[in-house]
Amino acid sequence: MDYLKPEEQARVLIDEMLAAAGWAVVPRSEYLDVPHAQAVTEALTKGNNEADYLLFLDGKAIGVLEAKRAENSLGMHVAEQTVKYSAGALPWYQTWTKPLPFLFMCNGDKLLFCDRRDFAAGEPLEFLQLKKMFTPKEVAIRAELSSEFAKMPAVPAVQTKAKAGLRQCQYDAICNLELSFKHGKKKALIVLATGAGKTFTACTAAYRLLNYTPAKKVLFLVDRNNLGKQAEGEFGTYKLTETGIPFSDEYVVQRLHNVKDIEKSHVVISTIQRLYAVLTGQTFVDTDDDESELDGDSTNDLSSVSIELPQDLKVARDTFDLIIVDECHRSIYGKWKQVLDYFNTARVVGLTATPTEEAYAFFNKNTVVEYTLEDSIRDGVNVPPRVFRIKTLVSSQGGTIGQGEHVERITLLDGSKQKKIQKEDQKYECTELDRSVVNPAQIRLVVDSFKQAIYSSLYPERLSDDPVRNWKYIPKTLFFAKTDSHADNIVDAIKQSFAVEFEKVGLKLPEKFVQKITCKAGNSNQLISDFRNEKEFRIAVTVTLVATGTDVKPLEVLVFMRDINSAVLYTQMKGRGCRTMDDDKFQLATPNGTSKDCFYLVDAVGVTEHEMKLPGAASDAEFHKTLGLERLMERLAHGEVPDEHLNLFAGYLSKINNKAEQEDLSEVNKLLATTSLYFFVSRIYDALTGKNEFSTHPLPEYKDINDANIERRGLISAVINNVKVRKVLLEINRGFIKIQNEGADSLVYSGFSIDESKKYAEIFKDFIEQNRDEVEALRIIYNSEDVAITYEMLSDLKRKLEKFNPMLNEKNLWTCYKTLSVNKVGKAGKVKDLEKDEVGLLTNLIQLVRYALGQKESLYSLQSTSASLFELYCGQNQRVLNEDQKQVLKRIAQYVVQNGCVSAPILMQYEKPLFLQAAKFFGPQNVNTEIQNLTKFMFQ
């Protein structure tokens, strides 16, 4: 910190001190209406003065901290300044009492404290030295605050490489969940993608309520017993506690067996069926076998026949303060709903990766975080998909059953079959395909196209000279069919198509190569296990996998032969392919593969091409500007929410909604997640006019800043308590704009998605433009500088590209440009396929950037032209090289093509024998110049 000024050094130390004690240190423009403790910096006080820190507990000011440089002795002058600020809280700040009772002074080393309530009016104040800063809990106890959330410290910080913590999505979930509780909501839904840490988030929520609020008991409902065992283990390893010791060492965590377990536990883990048994006093065999539960498989729990609760129940209604429901899109509705409804005094939190409309409704549409599969891919939690499109004429336009054509008609009611001759032409739509009409040629064409694409487009690097190995270990693939009979047709087509490849080498198709996994196929759990673990089982065909949480990590390809309209189901289906896997374990499942870096979504029905429609803009709203938007939001965050402020706020947002371009509006709506800006504004206006069905009628009158004003604050919470939304709104209000883009019996098209290719090409171009001055390799290429591009520069570019978007890798970008070139999209020039030995070369990034910028009309690897370039270099200026010189230069040229530019010192460091040979044949005084000249020539 030596480069900082003394005042700044002290502030850094004080910030760290406050954070370590559990205070969230925030600038005043980012103050949030949240229950956890905040230390607001440069907070405004009367007379337009700024207090270094105002301390807030549960949204109300409780104290002030004055900061000085290290050499300041914190004398009388500082004390007077602190007292002045404590009495100068603005009228639009909520306060516990006035003047603020707790006074702190700190110079980064010494910390002094005074509770002014200990002194009579006019009596001199005395400050005591503290060893460390009070925690919010300590302050709340000292002040005898009765608020439920007054002891709540800041949410644990987002994890870094150096320090454990929460993922950003988990941090957002906890912050928003606690805010929701503060606003009086008893139900909340947490949506986190597969693998994002739902249980860890639940542990955090449970710990904070048990440790910092009056809550005494938590129920953790799981979908199956084996998931209960997993949850118990996670509570046992959770160490993000105040003391650093495991959760289960501080609180009793136990799976439910009997009533006594509830009495002696802080956290009770159970299925809803087992809870019902204990609640009603029924006996059951104590086992962890899910099939032995009272009503068997919970997939049947959505029955319309509800269970009945008797009068003499063994557990009190108010036993639980918090109920957390894992996989909440299942089990808690239908027949079991009464069990959960019985505990109606508890707050209920749902956890799921795939929320249903029923789940949204049950939780009153109070979704506190929605972290999607796409979000998890961006953050590296899951691997990304690449879309490969197979389009046939019939699957895109429908077809005709011609007059005189032989057909077999199956009666769906009883399954009876009848062979007939078509009497007249019958046209059918593509939506009828494989439902009311089956065209075997269309199914076979899709399967054949997929087979051909495996080693020509999807995994060309895995193609070897051993055809048996190639076809025996194709990537594990899952086909999604429309119906069970459609699945049978697909299995038949796969057997016919792939049998040809095995017959070419005198072999039969392995017995388990392709199998159907549907409810009618037998033991689905065993089939899923076989698909996961057996090498011979390469292709599975299903309608939907029947087990919740099915995890087949080696799965690399999903083939959609059914369209999906449900976003929930589509997300579930995509989630089958996204799981990451260690390379060594992956290679055991797929011996000719090296790693799982992505998964392929083969779209044979257009499932990836659905358009999303955005709501229209609101009508012009009357707009009166009295307060600037930034200052207005600051005041609203502090709870100053009279009608005029709400009306002004709605006017600002209405203007933004009207003037914003569609891409910007979609950005705001994406950040808002559970609503749209249009709907948000409408709710405010409706509330002000008494029309709002979501609020009390009429909106309660605003009287005082220190009143709860829950309805008013909840009305604007989605924006006011989201710093990202506030910042984007401010940017749009100033006129700043930004966005994104989206994506067929003869074969119409087989190749990577054109729309997806356009999207990634545009994202790549935008990245270059945005980072051309920050990333050294981009700067050199963009400006055509006569500077060598080294291995380190290219590695830095590769790392930053993939961090920005995992799909901005060399392999994907190259296929995107190839797709655009083949389909003559835009001004795309010729793109030469990468040979097997060219894939993965860092120098391909140079060619990609040059091509994206239009500096090159064609895209090809430097490796493909290195031989001719080398000969040109050797023959320039008619100079003569002996064979030794030529051979050593050829090896250096190959090193350059693979790794980037080199110099004599770099070559000496990484390829010392090669450098010594070069020095021998060219002389020590000439070798560096020769290497530099060769390097620049190869990159021209």
> pLDDT, tens digit, for every residue of 290-313?
333 333 333 334 444 567 788 888
Average pLDDT over residues 748-772: 88
Instruction: Check residue 933 and give its pLDDT.
Output: 76
Using 50, 70 and 90 to split pLDDT, how confident is the model at 742?
very low
Would you say 239 and 246 are in contact if contact means Cβ atoms under 8 Å apart? Answer: yes
Instruction: Give the integer Cα–Cα distance in Å for 436 and 432.
Output: 5
Residues 6+ apart with CB under 8 A from 797: 775, 777, 778, 845
Average pLDDT over residues 634-656: 87
Residues 6+ apart with CB under 8 A from 584: none
Phi, psi of 553 (to 5 degrees): -60, -35
How many other C-beta atoms are found inside a 10 Å radius of the C-beta of residue 880? 8
Average pLDDT over residues 573-586: 83
Instruction: Give the integer Cα–Cα distance in Å for 924 and 774.
Output: 36
Cα separation values, 572 from 7, 28, 327, 556, 670, Å: 53, 41, 12, 15, 20
Model confidence pLDDT, tens digit, residues 678-700: 888 888 888 887 765 555 557 88
Instruction: Check residue 291 and give its pLDDT.
Output: 35
The length of the chain in residues reads: 940
CA dihedral over 3, 7, 13, 15, signed as positive or negative: negative
Least confident of 391-395, 429-433, 597-601: 429-433
Residues 6+ apart with CB under 8 A from 241: 207, 211, 247, 250
Cα separation values, 486 from 440, 482, 493, Å: 10, 6, 11
Structure tokens at 231: 């949850």
Model confidence pLDDT, tens digit, residues 249-270: 999 999 998 888 899 999 999 9
Residues 6+ apart with CB under 8 A from 762: 741
Q: Residue 250 CA to chain centroid, in angstroms?
A: 31
Average pLDDT over residues 179-204: 92
139-144, Cβ contacts within 8 angstroms, sequence gap of 24 or more: 139/37, 139/55, 139/57, 139/62, 139/63, 139/102, 140/57, 142/102, 142/115, 143/57, 143/62, 143/96, 143/101, 143/102
Scanning 116-264, the segments in alpha helix (DSSP H) are: 136-142, 168-182, 198-212, 225-237, 247-250, 259-264
Residues 894-921: b if buried by 16+ CB within 10 A, e if exposed: ebbbbbbbbebebbbeebeebbebbbeb
Helices (H) and strands (E) in the chain, counts: 35, 25
CA dihedral over 226, 228, 230, 232, signed as positive or negative: negative
Tell whether the model's pLDDT for residue 203 goes beyond 50. yes
Element holding 480 (H helix, E strand): strand 477-480
Average pLDDT over residues 78-104: 91
Instruction: Check residue 888 and give its pLDDT.
Output: 79
Using 50, 70 and 90 to split pLDDT, how confident is the model at 543?
confident
Instruction: Give the integer Cα–Cα distance in Å for 59 and 176.
Output: 14
Average pLDDT over residues 405-430: 69
Would you say 114 and 126 are in contact if contact means Cβ atoms under 8 Å apart? Answer: yes
Average pLDDT over residues 579-588: 86
Tell whether the model's pLDDT for residue 784 goes beyond 90. no
Using 50, 70 and 90 to split pLDDT, how confident is the model at 96?
very high
Residues 756-795: b if buried by 16+ CB within 10 A, e if exposed: bbbbbbebbebbbeebbeebbbbebbbeeeeebbbbebbe
Tokens 């029947």 correspond to what residue? Answer: 546
Structure tokens at 686: 């409706």
Cα separation values, 483 from 94, 517, 543, 571, Å: 60, 12, 6, 19
| pTM of model > 0.75 | no
Model confidence pLDDT, tens digit, residues 598-607: 899 999 888 8
Cα separation values, 416 from 404, 412, 419, 491, 865, Å: 22, 8, 10, 21, 65
Tell whether the model's pLDDT for residue 874 goes beyond 60. yes
Average pLDDT over residues 770-781: 88
Instruction: Give the integer Cα–Cα distance in Å for 156 and 22.
Output: 8
Average pLDDT over residues 569-586: 81
113 closest CA partner among 69, 143, 154, 155 = 143
Q: What is the mean pLDDT of the chain?
A: 82
**End-to-end Cα distance, the chain:** 44
Instruction: Give the integer Cα–Cα distance in Å for 492 and 512.
Output: 13
Would you say 806 and 380 are in contact if contact means Cβ atoms under 8 Å apart? Answer: yes
Average pLDDT over residues 570-588: 83
Instruction: Check residue 238 and give its pLDDT.
Output: 92
Tell whether the model's pLDDT for residue 40 goes beyond 80. yes
Using 50, 70 and 90 to split pLDDT, how confident is the model at 37?
very high
Q: Tell me 612's DSSP state.
A: P
Instruction: Give the integer Cα–Cα distance in Å for 718 and 33.
Output: 11
Model confidence pLDDT, tens digit, residues 812-834: 888 888 888 888 887 667 888 87
DSSP 270-330: EEHHHHHHHHHT--------GGGSTTS-GGGTT-SS-----S--SS-TTS-SEEEETTTTS
Element holding 387 (H helix, E strand): strand 385-392
Q: What percent of the chain has pLDDT over 70?
A: 88
Instruction: Check residue 450 and give its pLDDT.
Output: 95
Instruction: Give the integer Cα–Cα distance in Å for 104 and 110.
Output: 10
Between 411 and 102, where is the model more confident?
102
Least confident of 211-215, 345-349, 542-546: 542-546
Using 50, 70 and 90 to split pLDDT, how confident is the model at 878?
low
Highest mean pLDDT among 130-139, 624-633, 879-888: 130-139
